[in-house]
Chain A
């Protein structure tokens, strides 16, 4: 339900908490307790796109630290991670469990792998220009509120393409004698 609130407002607002409490017949304090526990429930509004850079050990050292530092400067984000134009919110995230593809970046929780500062610039520029941006596996980046609909279970779409990448096939290709050198 809190994912649903976020799909509507882009964060868990006080009135969102009130609304959940009313519908569920529990106190706002109980809803608040749940919403502040989980990292994905936001306590303040974010930009149109939420960019998360993984800086847990492996990703951080394989380049995540550099990507995050560079991106903050490139977008001139403030102390909350918001870019001045309201397009982006940048934050560091903890492990996404995709360490074979480190360093990992998510934009509206869509997945980008082997990220570098210079590739990040291109992706951000494309999003700013309103171009279609495809992540490395999964569906086109559409905005934070849009993806929250999926997580709230309010949007079911048919996948049309496989979501398989080189890392997932690494062993299979070696076994088939097709490994890239």
Chain B
């Protein structure tokens, strides 16, 4: 029954061949039609490729959802400066787990997308910035680039055309902030990864002050499919404002966590159903649609279609589109404390509201976790969040200001309780765990 119902909503497109044991090789990728899109793209002019992606309505999958074709169109084609493509493969948002799997399972899809995108924006050099904590992704993508180069798909005269391209794989060194696009550029140039003041935007002055497009891995992976099948086909999935399909990476207290590919507009209830439901038949307490940087929702929001527009209307965001699910055994105070500890650790220190704000918020939240919070401090936490939000240099500050107010909106009573009782007394940590702790 479940399987039959599932086949109605799930649409494995990017993931269609991930169970093919040879997909990670060039030969395996070509066997399932790989690099045909590149050849088709090279028959078009670069501007025609940009127009095609604009018409498809593809939006960035890194979190902000900016229209990809428009981003490409911002890059000036005239001028003597080189143009660059930079791929943001620094996936480190708590909850996100889609780009790394894509690079592990199907590295050539990324490489093909990189070549097509570079051709469209007329870049002669592309960089793939992979987070350093995933050496296996570095290995696989580097090898895929080498295979593509040896097959004449990268280098001089790509696939026999007049177009030439070099692709470089770069490993990061552990900094969440480098997922912010201008911080990523600074990092790639060899500096500390701190965000730059915008404007100028990267499309005008990006890497080495030259026009640069920065795209997320999943965004790039959509491009070959759009080239092959056309904009109308792509728009046949999802909604008008959120066209296409998405790697929904479901994590947390579900029976079968993992990647479920489906068009935009699927609901969390449906995704939960495919993921086998909440483990042990328990209930959802709260869930987050797209990474810890977007506000949480509760069980009453399970039927909201997962689109940019519907989630914005519900006061949250689609973000990375990687839902985390927490069941009723979870302490929301503890979850929020941990996220803030994360933002404190990852704050780059450039601007004061984020650097100092996260420090004080964590200090207070940790006391709540111990059952030592004071009621007056709830107001203080709210003030601090307000001081961080909108006053920080980059989106990391805004993100850090997100979890607490959202949690207070739905679970104020738990913070009240944490003024008297340590959260581990209210919520047994062993019950929250994935497996029963026999040996602990």
Contacts and interface: CB of A to CB of B under 8 A. Distances in A.
A58 B104 contact: no
Interface stretch (A78-86, A125-133, A169-177): A169-177
Contacts of B251: 58, 99-100, 102
Contact of B434 (A63, A98, A137): A63
Interface string A65-100: 110011000000000000000000000011111111
A175 B17 CA distance: 12
Contact of A57 (B104, B192, B339): B339
Contact of B18 (A33, A106, A164, A177): A164
A171 B146 contact: no
B440 A171 contact: no
B136 A39 contact: no
B135 A147 contact: yes
A168 B105 contact: yes
Contacts of B15: 168-169, 171-172
A151 interface: yes
A171 B102 CA distance: 14
B197 interface: no
A151 B338 contact: no
A11 interface: no
Between A39, A121, A168, the greatest number of chain B beta carbons within 10 A of the residue's beta carbon is seen for A168
B256 interface: yes
**Interface size grouping (class) on chain B:** 35 or more
Interface residues of A, number: 70
A116 B439 CA distance: 9
Contacts of B136: 110-111, 137-139, 163
Contacts of B133: 40, 93, 96, 106, 109
Contacts of A118: 438-439
B101 A174 contact: no
Contacts of A100: 97, 249-251, 257-259
Contacts of B4: 177
A163 B133 CA distance: 16
A28 interface: no
Contacts of A97: 91-94, 96-97, 99-100, 131
Interface string B97-134: 10111001100000000000000000000000001111
A29 interface: no
B418 interface: no
Interface string A23-67: 000000000011001111100000000000001111011110110
Interface of A: 2-3, 33-34, 37-41, 55-58, 60-63, 65-66, 69-70, 93-103, 106, 109-111, 114, 116-118, 121, 137-139, 147, 150-153, 156-159, 162-164, 166-175, 177, 179-181
20 contacts: A40-B132, A58-B95, A61-B432, A62-B433, A63-B434, A94-B345, A94-B346, A95-B92, A95-B93, A97-B92, A100-B259, A118-B438, A138-B135, A139-B135, A156-B143, A156-B146, A162-B105, A169-B19, A175-B10, A177-B7
Interface of B: 2-4, 6-7, 10-12, 15-16, 18-19, 21-24, 91-97, 99-101, 104-105, 131-136, 138-140, 142-143, 146, 169-176, 190-193, 248-253, 256-262, 274-276, 292, 322, 324, 326, 330-331, 334-335, 338-339, 341-342, 345-346, 348, 429-430, 432-435, 437-440
